Chain A
Amino acid sequence: MSQKFDVLVIGGGNAALCAAISARRAGASVLVLEGAPKFYRGGNTRHTRNMRCAHDAATDILTGPYTEEEFWDDLLRLTGGQTDEELARFMIRESKDILNWIVEQGVRWQPSLGGTLSLGRTNSFFLGGGRAMLNALYLTAEKLGVEIVYDAEVIDLEIEHGMFLSARLKQPVDGTSEIRASALVAAAGGFEANIEWLKEYWGEAADNFLIRGTPYNRGSILKMLLDNGVQDIGDPTQCHAVAIDARAPKFDGGIITRHDSVVFGIVVNKRAQRFYDEGEDIWPKRYAIWGRLVAAQPDQIAYIIFDASVRNSFMPTLFPPIEGGSIAELAGKLELDPAALEKTITEFNAAVKPGTFDHTILDDCRTEGITPPKTHWARRIETPPYLAYPVRPGITFTYLGTRVNRQARMVMKDGRPSANMFAAGEIMAGNVLGKGYAAGIGMTIGSVFGRVAGREAAKNARN
């Protein structure tokens, strides 16, 4: 692999493949270096399911219009204004065309079939899920003549005054080699799988975090770029964390370890104490806050506790709930103080006011006289067997990234655009998504900026 490529893409997920395809379609020779082995290719894209795109009318797969303005309002609300308006509006406008472009690359959509997600209007679902989507992109890339190397760990980047010269590649079999390219597209994800790096912001607590996606997102490319004068963006202490089953594997448990039974019960920490209003808000905010809440508890563990009356009210779960015929028995199995748990539940039950339960709206079932309150969906926990899910923080992605402009071109610390370096996907998502999250936005960022980065990199390489 001594030859020189027009465009080198580092990464192997949605953004990387969109960049590679778009660069190749623009006439460039393209090499993709995916750090993972073939099965694990695609970073977090493996675990995604849908993409949020603006559209002016209902289609076969979308139940209604989702205008640019509405998308922008949603983004503004969920980021609390932490977004680059120019880039965000550009992305939203481009997202309209991505809906079709991505289909031209072989990706297929499925009609929204329901489930627990009511996203049929705003989001398009990949038929077969994220890995199916990746498979389609890889197939297209290969057919177009993009070269792909797996197990390709980039251990060094040679960058001079904001200009990429070469990358040093280490492979399990072939050893190290040097790759030169006229332009670089960095699409290598965040650093959520790098526990040591997470510890810089979270301390020892990070040892108890579970990583929902690939173990290969270690942020090494991000670090090399920032060390070479690329301007950073996004809060390094921020990460998207949800509460997932504590029995999940350390890495790559994906979607099936999630829990959303919080509305049907209460959540206690290892001292058997409640610590937050379980009825504060509806999905998806509720979904997005509990990882962080659990991360702040002793030993980063908590227990969702509910009773037999609601056990079939939510999505089936991978791990079965832990059961106890009495509160004390359940407490024993969870290694909680039985007296403390009984006290917490008795007090909670006593505080529940009658109301009409409806988990799809902020209903009138609430508590009175306890702290913290449960402001909606509060019902007594009194029907044995008593059930519990242990949960830990599940880290989905980090927000620290490289600053880019509208060409997806990296911006250096002195404010000047890089000569030939582009970024797409999670590694630059912080430009648009300073904080917060909404389903499918990561994929929108990846596809839109991937496509742009590939095109611009190809143009750059030919000049």
Chain B
Amino acid sequence: MHGTKILEEADRLMTVCNSCRYCEGLCAVFPAMEMRRAFSDGDLNYLANLCHACGACYTDCQFSPPHEFNVNVPRTLAVARAESYSAYAWPRAFAGAFARNGIVISLVAALSVAAFIFGFAAWHDRQVLFGTHTGPGAFYKLMPHNAMAALFGVAFLYAIVALTMGVRAFWRDIGEPVGMKTDAAALLQALRDAGELRHLDGGGVGCFNEDDRPTDRRRLYHHFTFYGFALCFASTCIATLYHYLLARQAPYAWWDLPVVLGTLGGIGLLIGPIGLLTERWKRDSVLVDEARHGMDVAFIVMLFLTSLTGMALLVWRETAAMGPLLALHLGVVFSLFITMPYGKFVHGIYRFAALVRYAMERRAMAHGAGE
């Protein structure tokens, strides 16, 4: 009936939940479920990506294990979610990357770093790699700006295309025709929900992690991570504008906007990932999709390393360590870019698309009720 065993199980659970409905106040998954009586693969993938894994429905459920109805929504949807990433991956040939994600990312990262070090050395002699460079354009003594921009431009573009193709397949599968009328209010609602992580609050008290005492720590660390990433991204964008519009070359002074944003974001990307990893370590294993442990950890570690190498570069950029640190940092960032479409990064994209879908459904229903 369904494409995979986990979707069969998700269907069974949604049937149980739909005949109970006690959880309807906890998050968006259950109201969305109540709008349906039968569940297609697309519906289940939609619900799986709408779930923020706060665990409240597990802790609150009178039918969770050891009850014979064996209702474990957070874990079932976590597995379904992870499998949905592979199902929508573009190109199809790379779908398998999700399964061996930890290894793939480590390999790609190691190779990227090696390539940059080798590239720097090959571009010039070893003297340049280990020399001291200061002042505007110092970075480009190791690799010409245009080469760097081309390399990252291609990697970034590839990530964007692959992600777009994936989310397009997801959007089709969950029942929305591509190119439907843009619903600004729904988009705004989804932005707000995603920005606040509204559905990670367990219905108001916080989420459930190691036991049945709710906390808000996972949400806090996720905020550090997400907004840290957003600040770093903003820093990069502004630096690009500086370069092309103002003809101002990196590295910039500590007080300049790209450095300030990058430093703040970098701090977020140090605290957030460490917090998320710690919370993940403590998390009740009954809630976790353990098979995909590597995927989550690899992505969190990559974010942490991006920040760590970036911060190190900031601190030691005027010393002989600058060359190797730059190679390290660029290698990590490059690998982050090209592995983005095949790792945990996509959860944010699919979840956001699911939130948009949910906001649209809610609005459609409110309209229907009003008419």
Q: Which residues of A contact B (CB under 8 A)?
A: 39, 46-47, 49, 108, 110-111, 113, 115, 125-132, 135, 139, 249, 252, 254-256, 312, 315-318
Assuming the A-B contacts A113-B25, A128-B26, are A316 and B18 also in contact, with contact meaning beta carbons closer than 8 angstroms in the complex? yes
B59–A127 contact, CB under 8 A?
A: no
Report, as a range, how many residues of chain B touch the other chain: 20 to 34
Shortest B198–chain A CB gap in Å is: 15
A148 to B26, CA, bound (A): 28
Of B21, B22, B37, most A-chain CB atoms within 10 Å = B22
Q: Which residues of B contact A49 (CB under 8 A)?
A: 22
B16 interface residue (CB < 8 Å to A): yes
Extra inter-chain contacts (4) besides given A115-B34, A126-B22, A132-B22, CB under 8 Å = A127-B26, A129-B22, A252-B62, A315-B19
Q: Which residues of B contact A315 (CB under 8 A)?
A: 19
Task: Give per-residue flags for B1-33: 1 if the beta carbon is below 8 A from chain A beta carbons, else 0.
Answer: 000000000000001101111111110000100
* Binding site secondary structure of chain B: loop
B253 interface residue (CB < 8 Å to A): no
Q: Which residues of B contact A (CB under 8 A)?
A: 15-16, 18-26, 31, 34, 37, 56-57, 59-63, 66-69, 203-205, 212-213
B19–A128 contact, CB under 8 A?
A: no
A131–B68 contact, CB under 8 A?
A: no
A318–B60 contact, CB under 8 A?
A: no
Shortest B141–chain A CB gap in Å is: 60
Assuming the A-B contacts A129-B60, A129-B62, are A316 and B212 also in contact, with contact meaning beta carbons closer than 8 angstroms in the complex? no
B62–A127 contact, CB under 8 A?
A: no
A128–B60 contact, CB under 8 A?
A: yes
Contact of B31 among A113, A126, A312 (CB under 8 A): A113
B23–A256 contact, CB under 8 A?
A: no
Shortest A323–chain B CB gap in Å is: 15
Q: Which residues of B contact A126 (CB under 8 A)?
A: 22
Assuming the A-B contacts A128-B22, A256-B20, are A135 and B59 also in contact, with contact meaning beta carbons closer than 8 angstroms in the complex? yes
Q: Which residues of A contact B57 (CB under 8 A)?
A: 128
A113 to B31, CA, bound (A): 9
Beta-carbon nearest neighbor of A47 in chain B: B62
Shortest A374–chain B CB gap in Å is: 26
B26–A318 contact, CB under 8 A?
A: no
A255 to B23, CA, bound (A): 13
Beta-carbon nearest neighbor of B12 in chain A: A318
B212–A135 contact, CB under 8 A?
A: yes
A110–B25 contact, CB under 8 A?
A: yes
Shortest B365–chain A CB gap in Å is: 11
A131–B61 contact, CB under 8 A?
A: yes
B15–A129 contact, CB under 8 A?
A: no
Of B34, B37, B60, B61, most A-chain CB atoms within 10 Å = B60
A317 to B37, CA, bound (A): 10
Q: Which residues of A contact B204 (CB under 8 A)?
A: 108, 127
B66–A39 contact, CB under 8 A?
A: yes
A312 to B18, CA, bound (A): 13
